[in-house]
């Protein structure tokens, strides 16, 4: 047989082709590896972040599987729980029986409630999110010739749809009890498909979702739990933990109780320490060189500033200057948090600040 002789041009073509095939193969292999890492990272990001339970005999046990440390509990407690989890399989917490709840009775409060749900969704809280609102908002009514049209209804319905679509919020219209106007906080005890619910007073900013979830899931159950009375500008009802029950709701409704002040004597609440759960922005006015890192790590920061009408309002600049804390560090925190609230309000609700008129 004759030998096949290749010209120098053919050899160059073969070598070039082999080089291209090799490079293409390695590029494909690198792309496939990166894709698998991206998918695994995305799956990890989408998983709910389960808080670690405190080392208390009365607490429920934490979920099995990976855990994420929360600033609510110290390193020693977390280490003890990790060793406990490694030694035995812990029973699970049914997060479908736990919920963060907001109750709104007017259009102005809807955005602040949805902002809270947005913070919970962004940080992957495993608990359910439920919004209670007057049933009349969900009713399509044909306007008569002389009827007044509510100018805020369209905006409210848009926000409710956004909450359900973007943040997986369950919308539950509430019918006011016979002979009563509007809905009250007693509606919390009507949520009997749940084991426990948490209501935070708004407006506010959630800084540590895992800490709030840990309070919801692992603190000792009681018919009602409030914050301890403090002198740091917070009220007991700024955080409410409720254990829904048909009998409790029946009693509260039959008594015609509309506000928390009248409900408290009937349910004899237990209390939580406030220092590790909520901070008030009003406390910055009297603060001297506050610890900025510690303040920003508080799970929930409540905007109850006595010098301004609220973070959702745009007021005259001269009034803002007058309202700012005198301490330099406190002023930095105060300005940062007001700016952050305005930014989140626009991102979540698509709303700017409303103009305040005295």
- CA–CA gap between residue 288 and residue 290 (Å, rounded): 6
SS3 call for 3: coil
β partners of residue 173: 133
- Residue-range definition of the domain harbouring residue 338: 280-355
Q: What is the mean pLDDT of residues 256-279?
A: 80
**Could you tell me if 229 and 261 lie in one domain?**
yes
**Could you tell me if 268 and 242 lie in one domain?**
yes
- Note whether residue 6 is domain-resident: no
Q: What DSSP element (H or E) covers 196?
A: strand 196-200
Q: Residue 82 above 70 pLDDT?
A: no
Question: Which of 64-78, 141-155, 236-250 is most confident?
Answer: 236-250
Among the candidates 231, 253, 273, a domain finishes at 273
**Could you tell me if 263 and 298 lie in one domain?**
no
**Could you tell me if 214 and 114 lie in one domain?**
yes
The pLDDT, as a whole number, for residue 10 is 73
Q: Residue 116 above 70 pLDDT?
A: yes
- CA–CA gap between residue 55 and residue 73 (Å, rounded): 9
For the chain, counts of helices (H) and of strands (E): 10, 12
**Could you tell me if 239 and 316 lie in one domain?**
no
Q: How confident is the model at residue 79 (pLDDT cuts 50, 70, 90)?
A: low
Domain harbouring 111, CATH code:
3.90.550.10
Region label for 234, one of left (φ > 0), alpha (ψ between -120 and 50) or beta (otherwise): beta
CB-based contact 149:138 (threshold 8 Å): no
CB-based contact 249:186 (threshold 8 Å): yes
- Note whether residue 22 is domain-resident: no
Q: How many domains does the chain have?
A: 2
pTM of the model: 0.75
DSSP assignment letter at 63: P
On the 0-12 / 13-18 / 19+ scale of CB atoms within 10 A, 335 is middle
**Could you tell me if 284 and 265 lie in one domain?**
no
Alpha helices by DSSP H, listed for 237-308, are 246-254, 260-267, 292-296
Give the residue among 295, 198, 293, 298 at the shortest CA–CA distance from 241: 198
- Judged by average pLDDT, the poorest of 139-153, 180-194, 209-223 is 139-153
- Note whether residue 2 is domain-resident: no
- CA–CA gap between residue 306 and residue 232 (Å, rounded): 12
- Note whether residue 5 is domain-resident: no
Q: What is the mean pLDDT of residues 284-299?
A: 91
Among the candidates 210, 242, 273, a domain finishes at 273
Q: What is the mean pLDDT of residues 228-249?
A: 86
Both tokens of 191, joined, read: 């949520």
CB-based contact 197:101 (threshold 8 Å): yes
β partners of residue 313: 354
Q: What is the four-CA torsion angle of 269, 275, 279, 280, rounded to 10 degrees? A: 70
Q: Residue 249 above 80 pLDDT?
A: yes
Q: How confident is the model at residue 179 (pLDDT cuts 50, 70, 90)?
A: low
**Could you tell me if 234 and 288 lie in one domain?**
no
Among the candidates 258, 273, 288, a domain finishes at 273
Give the residue among 227, 223, 222 at the shortest CA–CA distance from 238: 227
- Note whether residue 188 is domain-resident: yes
What percent of the chain stands above pLDDT 90?
Answer: 48
Q: How confident is the model at residue 96 (pLDDT cuts 50, 70, 90)?
A: very high
**Could you tell me if 310 and 335 lie in one domain?**
yes
Q: How confident is the model at residue 46 (pLDDT cuts 50, 70, 90)?
A: low
- Note whether residue 46 is domain-resident: no
CA angle 49, 271, 236 (to 5 degrees): 95
Bridge-based pairing state of the strands 128-134 and 239-242? unpaired
DSSP assignment letter at 309: S
- Note whether residue 79 is domain-resident: no
- Locate tokens 């979702």: which residue? 209
The dihedrals phi and psi of 209, each to the nearest 5 degrees, come to -65, -40
**Could you tell me if 236 and 307 lie in one domain?**
no
- CA–CA gap between residue 238 and residue 260 (Å, rounded): 11
Give the residue among 71, 75, 49 at the shortest CA–CA distance from 62: 49
**Could you tell me if 267 and 303 lie in one domain?**
no
- CA–CA gap between residue 299 and residue 194 (Å, rounded): 23
**Could you tell me if 196 and 316 lie in one domain?**
no
- 163: cis peptide before it, omega within 30°? no
- CA–CA gap between residue 188 and residue 132 (Å, rounded): 9
The dihedrals phi and psi of 171, each to the nearest 5 degrees, come to -95, 120
**Could you tell me if 112 and 205 lie in one domain?**
yes
CB-based contact 132:104 (threshold 8 Å): yes
- Note whether residue 187 is domain-resident: yes
């Amino acid at each position: 047989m004759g030998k096949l002789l290749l010209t120098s041009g053919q050899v160059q073509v073969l070598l070039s082709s082999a080089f291209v095939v090799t490079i293409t193969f390695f590029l494909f292999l690198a792309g496939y590896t990166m894709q698998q890492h991206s998918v695994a990272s995305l799956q990890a990001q989408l998983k709910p972040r389960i808080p670690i339970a405190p080392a208390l005999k009365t607490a429920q046990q934490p979920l099995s599987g990976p855990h994420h440390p929360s600033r609510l509990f110290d390193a020693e407690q977390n280490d003890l729980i990790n060793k406990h989890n490694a030694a035995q399989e812990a029973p699970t917490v049914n997060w479908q029986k736990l919920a963060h709840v907001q109750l709104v009775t007017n259009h102005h409060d809807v955005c602040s409630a949805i902002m809270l749900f947005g913070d919970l969704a962004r940080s992957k809280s495993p608990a359910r999110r439920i919004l209670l609102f007057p049933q009349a908002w969900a009713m399509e009514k044909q306007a008569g010739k002389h009827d007044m049209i509510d100018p805020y209804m369209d905006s409210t319905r848009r926000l409710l749809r956004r909450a359900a679509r973007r943040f997986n919020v369950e919308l539950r219209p509430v019918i006011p009890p016979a002979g009563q106007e509007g809905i009250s906080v007693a509606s919390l005890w009507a949520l009997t498909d749940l084991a426990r619910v948490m209501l935070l007073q708004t407006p506010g900013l959630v800084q540590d979702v895992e800490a709030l979830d840990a309070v919801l899931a692992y603190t000792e159950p009681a018919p009602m739990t409030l914050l301890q009375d403090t002198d740091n500008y917070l009220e007991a009802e700024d955080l409410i933990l409720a254990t829904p029950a048909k009998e409790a709701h029946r009693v509260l409704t039959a008594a015609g109780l509309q506000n928390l002040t009248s409900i408290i004597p009937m349910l004899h609440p237990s209390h939580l320490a406030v220092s590790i759960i909520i901070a008030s922005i009003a406390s910055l006015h009297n603060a001297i060189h506050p610890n900025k890192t510690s303040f920003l790590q508080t799970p929930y920061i409540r905007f109850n500033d006595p010098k301004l009408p609220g973070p959702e309002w745009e007021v005259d600049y001269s009034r803002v200057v007058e309202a700012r804390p005198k301490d330099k560090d406190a002023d930095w925190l105060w300005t940062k948090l007001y700016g952050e609230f305005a930014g989140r309000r626009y991102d979540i609700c698509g709303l700017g600040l409303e103009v305040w008129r005295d």
